[in-house]
Structures are given as C-alpha cells and as structure tokens.
Amino acid sequence: MIPRERELPCAHRPRPGVDRVWALSPSAASKSRDTVNIRRRFRSFARGFVSAETFRADGQAAAAPPQAVFLHGGWRCGSTYVWNRFRDCAETVCFYEPFHEGLARLTATKIRRDTTQTWNSRHPLLNRPYWAEYHALLRRGGLRGIRGYRQEFAVNDYFPTERGLAPQLDYIRQLMREAHRTGKRPVLGFSRSLARAAAIKQALGGWHVMIQRDPRQQWLSCRSYRVGEGSLYFELCHFLILALAPPQSSAARYARYLGLPRPSAGRFRDQFRFMKRALWPWTDELSYRAFIGVLQLSYAAAAPAIDLAIDIDRLSNQPRYRNEVRAGVFAASGLVMRFDDCRMGSHDALSVDLDFAEVESDVLRMLRTYGVKTAELSPALEVPDCGARRSGGATS
C-alpha cells in the first residue's frame, strides 16, 4: 500500500493563537523537498501498475473495480435469455443491446414502455423494461438519446474500419463507469458486436462470452417474423451489415458477390428503407446466404476474444452442460446463476424449399477465397432436437 503523504508544517496556513509558524533551515527545507519529490515519483511509478481509476484522491490504492462481462451474439440466438440470467444477479448492472439504433432516440417514456409484452419478442418475461439501466445516462435538457451514443454504432460500424473504435470505446467506458459507480459488475449484452469483440477486448479487457444457436434455427426464427407478421427487420439488418462493410473488406466483397447495393451515409432509418426498396421481395436463398455470410465473418473476427462459448441448444437440453456453463461463469466472475428454465423453441426446416447444406457449403467456399477462416456449420446437424418446449423460454 502506498503511504499517505503527510503535509509538512511549512505548508500549513497558521491559525492565530493555535498554530506556530515554523521556519525551516535551508538543509531541512531541502530534505523536505526531496522527500516530497520521492513520494511523487513513487506514486507515478505505481500508477504504471494500478490504473488511475483505482486510485483514490488521497493517493491510496483502491480495490480494482469488478471486471466487465461482454455477451456477444446475433439476433434470435437466445442472447436475451442469457443476459437476463446475469441481470438477475444482485452484483451486476446489465445494459441491454448497447449498440441498438433505438438508443439514439431513447426517452424516459420509451424506457418504461418497451417491455417483452409490447411486441412479439418470444423473450422470457423480464422483471424490468429492457432499457431500465440507461435511465441515468439519458441526455439532459429534454434531448432524446443516450449520452455518447451514435446511431452509426448499430450496423455502419459492425466491421471495424481503419478509423478504429475510439467513439465506441469511449461510450462503452461510460457504461462501465456507471456500473462501477454503484460498486457493481458491468454486463453488456450485445447483438451487434461479434465482429468488434476482439478489438473491444484488446482495448477494454473484460470477460467475453459468445452465445451460439443452430444457425438454421436462428435464421428460421428471423424469417418467421417476415412470414408470420410481415416484419423484415432481422433479415434487412443482415443485408445492411454486409452492404455497409468497409469497401475493401471481405464482407464488402461478399456483399458485391450477392449483388447488394450500398446505401449512402445517413440515418439508420433511411438506410433501412433504401435497402428494403432495393431488395424486397427477396428469396429465402438470398436471405440465408446473407445470414450465413454475416455469421461466419462474425465468428472468424470474434474467435480470438472469446473466453466462453455457450451453445444455447445444449443449454436448453442437457442438464450436465448447464452445470458446466454455470461452473464456468462462477469460476470467471463469482456470479451464481441457474439455467434450468432455458427452453429453445424450434422451427420446421423442411417447410422451407431450400437446400441448406448446399448454400452453407457454397458460402463457406466463397468466403475462403477471400481469406476468411471459416468453421464448418456442424451444429445444425449435431444439436439434439430441442422440440417446442416454451415454459421457461429463451427464444424461438
């Protein structure tokens, strides 16, 4: 522990009738200055090992803040369920979808309104609205949005560019500070971060978890919103991620191979509408090719950063695997949680006129020609049938 620097008598402001004024001899004054300088140099040296955030104003080293947990996944993979398990821990502050475009216009009213029951989310019932943890970070003066958030964080910056991630990292640090201010562990649950996971970990450290689902079931869940409700959101977001990728990247080359037009710079809403006008109606094959491309590019980028990969299908079906995941979470974070209520729904892949294996093989081949290190999509064939149990529900 670094000793607290004692104030020298000559630095005191004399109080009449109480303090005496000390006059130091030249040699004593020199010795005092040397002592102060040594202590200052020691403090500076120590700060090389202890971050400035762990130093109190009095110079004493404070306990390091709890390590942040980063949850990375895609849309419709059960990531909200896993995030909610962390949220149920009293030791955490859990931020939902920190890169979501809706944060640009978030208000206190919208925080209260957006719950699992205001749309067909197929998410587990939450004790609080999705965005409750952002309330203290709303912009002041009646302005909409979260301080530090930029709408381009959502999909424009999904794949890192040469500009780096400085604005995104500053924004994430703000969320972490908000959790640390209460003495709790920050947990950030993303659906738009996989391709940035390695860069985030390199800059901010933390413990990084990836949530995976049978890719065919994941895409079928996205597709089900189009077929059942006419909602194109999830599929269009995959198109946008590819179309807005840095022009010289493997993702952009793949987008050009699929014939995706590139939207001009602007608001997410305008880019979304542009892509819808350009592509709708699209085929299931085009949608699945875009989805598998984004998935493979994301996994390849995230792989170096991942400390724990959670297979949500196995979590739903295998008690032993649940215990293994529970033990892994506890060993890394000290957090105790249960996954007994995890239940993944399923969709009938045979009802779609699409040769999934052929499309997957072709996409992998194409990405490898761009130098992407892809992984075989074996989970689609090896994950046990999870049926249609929904009592506890993760997603479907």
396 residues of the chain, pLDDT tens digit each: 444 333 333 333 433 443 333 333 444 444 444 443 434 443 433 333 334 444 445 555 567 899 999 999 999 999 999 999 999 999 999 999 999 999 999 999 999 999 998 888 999 889 999 999 999 999 999 899 999 999 999 999 999 988 889 999 999 999 999 999 999 999 999 999 999 999 999 999 999 999 999 999 999 999 999 999 999 999 999 999 999 999 999 999 999 999 999 999 999 999 999 999 999 999 999 999 999 999 999 999 999 999 999 999 999 999 999 999 999 999 999 999 999 999 999 999 999 999 999 999 999 999 999 999 987 654 433 333 333 333 346 667
Distance of alpha carbon 367 from alpha carbon 239, whole angstroms: 16
Quick check: 384 and 378 in contact, CB under 8 A?
A: no
Run of H or E residues at 189:
strand 185-190
Length of the chain, in residues: 396
* Among the listed residues 139, 121, 164, 178, the one whose alpha carbon sits nearest the alpha carbon of residue 345: 121
Kindly report the number of other CB atoms within 10 A of residue 41's CB atom: 10
How do the domains of the chain map onto residue ranges?
Answer: 9-54, 69-382
Sheet with 185-190: list strands edge to edge.
92-96, 185-190, 69-72, 207-212, 308-311
pLDDT number for residue 375? 77
pLDDT number for residue 62? 65
> Which long-range contacts link 227-231 to residues 24+ away (Cβ below 8 Å)?
229/120
pLDDT number for residue 256? 98
Q: Provide CATH code, domain 69-382.
A: 3.40.50
* Among the listed residues 337, 380, 215, the one whose alpha carbon sits nearest the alpha carbon of residue 325: 337
pLDDT number for residue 142? 86
b/e for 103-113, b at 16 or more Cβ within 10 A? bbebeeebbee
Q: How far is CA 246 from CA 66, 120, 173, 252, 362, in A?
A: 35, 33, 25, 6, 23
DSSP summary character for residue 72: E
